[in-house]
Amino acid sequence: MSLKNDLFLRALKGETVDRPPVWMMRQAGRFLPEFMEIRKKYDFFTRCQTPELASEITVQPIRRFGMDAAILFSDILVIPQAMNIEVEMKPNFGPYLPNPIRSQKDLDSVIVPDVNEALGYVMDAIKLTKEKLNNEVPLIGFAGSPWTILCYCVQGQGSKTFDKAKELCFTQPVVAHELLQKITDTTIAYLKAKIRAGVDAVQVFDSWGGMLSPTDYNEFSWQYIQQIIDALKDESPVIVFGKGCWFALGDMAKSGAAALGVDWTCSARNARYLTGGKVTLQGNFDPARLLSPPSEIKKMVTQMINEFGKDSYIANLGHGILPNVPVENAKAFIDAVKEWKPVS
């Protein structure tokens, strides 16, 4: 069965389109009242691990706003969980890993799992979601970058600096690289399983890539993302989003990734320049700008599309949507892209 709306996949291939496709990072959940109802009843990892709940949350924003792609409701930290690293999600705190990896001894208990066994619930959620989507729009699967996952595994929680993660890299590089390789091997197997289960594209989130200098980025993040791209690019389009990683856009453009995410600190012009103007770009509306009045959002979105150009472009935010964004403001963002017309 072919998709009724394949605009997103066509933009990933760099084909000429009438308007860019649109979706929003973290669109499944957080800001939607129907998601809040589910959240009241079930804790975070129950929602991730129950295919009926994960698939329902995934399709909620599509029903309401009709984005051009759905992204599976899940979390990047299901990977460390599968690797025998305990992860809790604490209310009003975020992720908490009670036994962080800080030495070779800690690393010895970390496994590369059988992903179909450990993360089978994700594959079940994909199959259920595909049924619910009924070929309306493509489904995106995702994973965190190995570096971003390492940040949580070593720090044990969120951080403004991830100082302990960096300390491990710089004082025990052998341990850091072994952990990064284990995460990479698990992530490749996981994303391959997701593709087999039916996702139409995958995205790698390097949320904390911008914490590293360009030299350290190449050593501790990019080389592992490149392994993931190399392993997957013949099976599925791969989108790479590195927050704060504008300095790596030149290398990313030569990587074989189908599209590159851009955050709001990098202008469309710079992003096109740094990537050589060829590769599909995705982004880069400041999520906090969705707190502006809807009329202003529409103007800014139109300007954003005009600056990136309609082709080889996917309209999106420059990071995940914030929980306090009014529903009508999110709608204004989506509608502005759908209503966009070239300036005659």
> Would you list which residues are annotated within the binding site for substrate?
26-30, 45, 75, 152, 207, 319
Q: Identify the bridge partners of residue 201 per DSSP, sorted by sequence position.
A: 140
Instruction: Give the phi and the psi of residue 4 in degrees, each rounded to 5.
Output: -70, -35
The tokens for 312 are 């080889």
196 in active site: no
CA-to-CA distance for 282 and 14, rounded, in angstroms?
12
28: number of CA atoms within 13 Å, CB side? 21
CA-closest candidate to residue 194, choices 139, 268, 263: 139
Q: Which helix (H) or strand (E) holds 140?
A: strand 139-144
CB 283 within 8 A of CB 316: yes
CB 310 within 8 A of CB 20: yes
The tokens for 48 are 């991730």
* Catalytic, out of 6, 19, 47, 152: 152
* Catalytic, out of 10, 26, 106, 121: 26
75 in active site: yes
Instruction: Give the phi and the psi of residue 262 in degrees, each rounded to 5.
Output: -130, 135
CA-closest candidate to residue 301, choices 338, 333, 269: 333
* DSSP conformation class of 296: H
* Catalytic, out of 10, 39, 121, 311: 39
* Catalytic, out of 64, 75, 124, 251: 75
- Taking the alpha carbons at both ends of the chain, their separation in whole angstroms is 36
39 in active site: yes
* Catalytic, out of 30, 64, 106, 124: 30
CA-to-CA distance for 266 and 228, rounded, in angstroms?
25
335 in active site: no
311 in active site: no
DSSP code string of 223-287 = HHHHHHHHHHTTTS-EEEEETT-GGGHHHHHTTT-SEEEE-TTS-HHHHHHHTTTTSEEEEEE-G
Return binding residues: 26-30, 45, 75, 152, 207, 319
| Residue 146: alpha-carbon gap to chain centroid | 13
Q: Active-site residues: which are they?
A: 26, 30, 39, 75, 152
